[in-house]
Amino acid sequence: MRAERIRTVLGHVVLMIGVLISIFPFYWMIVIASNTSGDMFKYPPKLLPGGDLLVNMHHVLQNIDFWGSFGFTIATAAVATVLVLFFDSLAAFAFAKYDFPGKKVLFTILLATFMIPAQLSLVPSFVTLSWFGWVGSMKALVIPGAANAFGIFWMRQYASGAVPDELIQASKVDGAGFFRQYWTVGLPVLRPGLAFLGIFTFIGVWNDYLWPLIVLTDPGKVTLQVALQQLNTVVGATDYSMVMAGALMSVIPLVGIFLIGARQFIADIAAGAMKF
């Protein structure tokens, strides 16, 4: 019993050390963002948050169009999420619940596309988008990924278990066509799955960096990630506290969204891996 107890305490000690390491960079971001850049060069360093956060945030707003990028990022992530949820769940519903000629082949093709790394077509995709005249606009960020293999695969797994065949049958008997069945039977039942895919997509788009960096050629209209890196490279060397305040401002909304849905989201991530 005593040995058991020691092991439990030891387990918590290990876990707490891990938590501290996990959290420390966030804490440190707040410390630097709330002190002056001059404080950073002192030794011993300041280890506690100071009172300069608002000043630093104000400098961020003076140096980059923070609210512009913020709005653009939210709009992009929201549009991308809605498109992904609609197209992925619609395709997943068809794959999971209906039979049609060529279904197996189509699904195998879908899975095979997982193997193609996005970087292979980075250059030609950019060229293609510039032919369309989409470079520099939101279309370049949301349309190529509007229906994606991961989401369809994940939703299909979810739909085949969650949507009862009887409900679809009943709806058919009532004379509903495929799209009506999707809308009235599929969507309501798929809601928890959509919640996961929605958070996953929103976070992914919000954090995406390489692709926006390439296609958003107009420096005045960029996502938050790209704006943050502009801030970092252009004025970062002189005012580190300001850059850190910018980093903090870009992280807060996302952490907020994550914390709201965290419990279910984490469970879904783990469940996805178990299906592998």
Q: Considering only 54-62, 63-71, 90-98, 187-195, which stretch makes contact with another protein by CB under 8 A?
A: 90-98
Shortest spacing between CB 55 and another protein, in angstroms: 18
| Between 137 and 229, CB nearer to another protein | 229
Shortest spacing between CB 54 and another protein, in angstroms: 19
- 3 interacts with another protein by CB under 8 A: no
d(CA 266, CA 272): 10
Q: Which of residues 44-63 bind another protein (CB under 8 A)?
A: 44-45
- 87 interacts with another protein by CB under 8 A: yes
Among 95, 154, 158, 196, binds another protein (CB under 8 A): 95
Shortest spacing between CB 87 and another protein, in angstroms: 5
| Between 75 and 112, CB nearer to another protein | 112
Q: What's the half-sphere exposure (Cβ side, CA atoms, 13 Å) at 224?
A: 26
Shortest spacing between CB 61 and another protein, in angstroms: 17
Among 55, 111, 170, 271, binds another protein (CB under 8 A): 271
- 274 interacts with another protein by CB under 8 A: yes
244: which residues sit within 8 A by CB, 6+ positions away? 29, 32, 33, 56
- 259 interacts with another protein by CB under 8 A: yes
- 105 interacts with another protein by CB under 8 A: no
Q: Which of residues 140-159 bind another protein (CB under 8 A)?
A: 143-149, 152
- 115 interacts with another protein by CB under 8 A: yes
Shortest spacing between CB 62 and another protein, in angstroms: 18
Q: Which of residues 218-257 bind another protein (CB under 8 A)?
A: 224-225, 228-229, 232-233, 236, 240, 243-244, 247-248, 250-251, 254-255
| Between 146 and 189, CB nearer to another protein | 146
